Amino acid sequence: MHCHGCFDIVHPGHIKHLQHAKSLGDLLIVSISADSHVNKGVARPLIPDDLRAASVAALECVDAVYINPEPTAVGLLEQLQPDVYVKGKEYETNADPRFIRERDTVTRHGGRMVFSSGDVVYSSTALIGTLGGVEVFNEEKVARLRDRYDLSDAHLHNLVQRFRGQKVVVVGDYILDRYHFCDATGVASEGPMMALRTLQQKDFDGGAGVIALHLAGLGANPVLVTALADDDASRQIEMRLSAEGVDVQSLNTRRSIVTKHRFLVDQQKLFKVDDGGPAPLDSTSEATLATTILKAAEGAAAVIFADFGCGLISAGLLDRVLKPVRAMVPVISADVSGKQTNLLKFQDVDLVCPTEREVRETLSDFTSGLGAVVWNLMNSTGARQAMITMGKQGLVTFDHPNSDDVLVDGRLRSEYIPALSTTSVDPLGCGDALLATATLALASGGSLQAAALLGSLAAAIQVASIGNQPIDSEMLLQRLSHRVRAIEPARLAS
């Protein structure tokens, strides 16, 4: 007998279901969906997969439990070929293609499907929805991750101390983020649209500029290779960044600075207006930029390519620089933002940090499990590691299968880190803070998991403020210490 599911909270319905399955034969095997394949909303799974497996294994009716690293049970069913595969009553009329493949696998090998009665109806999702807060569960997930990878407080503090003095080159488009804080005065008289009155406007350095500022705040020596205009606004930007410790090396090829206007009432963003579009470089400027990048990369611990779709980073530029940079720099990372970008052009880099939506749009795959999609991305680009961000759900790290302990029949080793902020004021720039911190952590000798944890903490700091606010090492260490104090009481209480 075989049952498969999430079993996030083992409730009476699960117990009745498993007892019924056991009654149909002599041996009951239960497979549990691994954390990275539980796609049931924010903060799910609530319970880590090893604890979910332990809860199910404690039931007298269960003979064996297996944590399934694949998005469906098809592969396991192919190997086990159970006489009976038992699913809940709700699957009797289910047309989900994933379940259909499971059902067909069972019947092809001579097994049969049985649907439990459903006379005891509970839902883990509904039960979790009644909880006042799930932060304590997220704290436990973080604590267990730190235990698995020996990410002690002292280890992470030491890693952050090693940030100081690291030379990191950032290649990408500078963007000016201009926030217009407004008062909503009503509905316009000439049509059904909101009328706003401007109260204040504030500018923030964005794009590759804020990535360089994050690095400077964390103690690194950043070099920003970008394109600005030959005007007073660009000169002020360069002076401002230089004053914060950023070595700005710019081509003055743009007609004007790309500016993104965001209009807000209180803290609610209403709409965005972009001023300036893509301005691809001509062949001469591209060659000059390539020379600038290669010279800047000499002696660097890392190079970050941040493509915001404004024309600076082209396939031709990457053809000129990626291989020579690869030969001289230990860590290369890349990220994209916007419809004018393509992850696939970044070949043989160490780390990519896209959102789940960006990965799926890049590969035009909106149905496969996340692990399968990332596998295809990493195979296509040769990327060694990935951090896939999922907004309020946090992120998942993936190791490239280049060692025996990672590759298992084409699967990636993954780790889930929940979002580390309980409030979200402004998500703008969270990915930039993550990219800067994670890259610097890798360049300083940290593991992928250490980089992801510190990067998640940086993103949590960023999301708590309006606009791009550069973080620094003191903020990061204070946030880390705060979470340590929050984690320990929760673990003691358990």
Asked if pLDDT for residue 362 goes beyond 50, the answer is yes
Residues 212-234: pLDDT tens digits? 999 999 999 999 999 999 999 99
Average pLDDT, the chain: 87
Asked if pLDDT for residue 361 goes beyond 80, the answer is yes
Residues 22-57: pLDDT tens digits? 999 889 999 998 887 776 555 567 788 888 899 899
Which segments of the chain belong to CATH 3.40.1190.20? 139-493
- pLDDT the model gives residue 406: 39
Taking the C-alpha atoms of residue 24 and residue 115, their distance in angstroms, rounded to an integer, is: 12
- pLDDT the model gives residue 421: 81
User: Of 413, 354, 421, which is closest to residue 394 (Cα–Cα)?
Assistant: 421
In terms of CATH architecture, what is 139-493? 3-Layer(aba) Sandwich (3.40)
> How would you classify the pairing of strands 194-207 and 395-399?
unpaired
Is residue 351 within 8 Å of 383, Cβ to Cβ?
yes
Distances (CA, A) of 364 to 71, 271, 333: 18, 27, 23
Question: Which residue is listed with tokens 């989900």?
Answer: 96
What is the pTM for the complete model shown? 0.78
Asked if pLDDT for residue 261 goes beyond 70, the answer is yes
Residues 426-436 have a mean pLDDT of 93
CATH assignment of 2-132? 3.40.50.620
Is residue 350 within 8 Å of 387, Cβ to Cβ?
no
Taking the C-alpha atoms of residue 384 and residue 13, their distance in angstroms, rounded to an integer, is: 42
**What are the structure tokens assigned to 249, written together?**
């090396």
Asked if pLDDT for residue 327 goes beyond 70, the answer is yes
Question: Which residue is listed with tokens 């799930």?
Answer: 134
**Number of residues that this document lists for the chain:** 494
54 or 409, which is more confident: 54
Which segments of the chain belong to CATH 3.40.50.620? 2-132
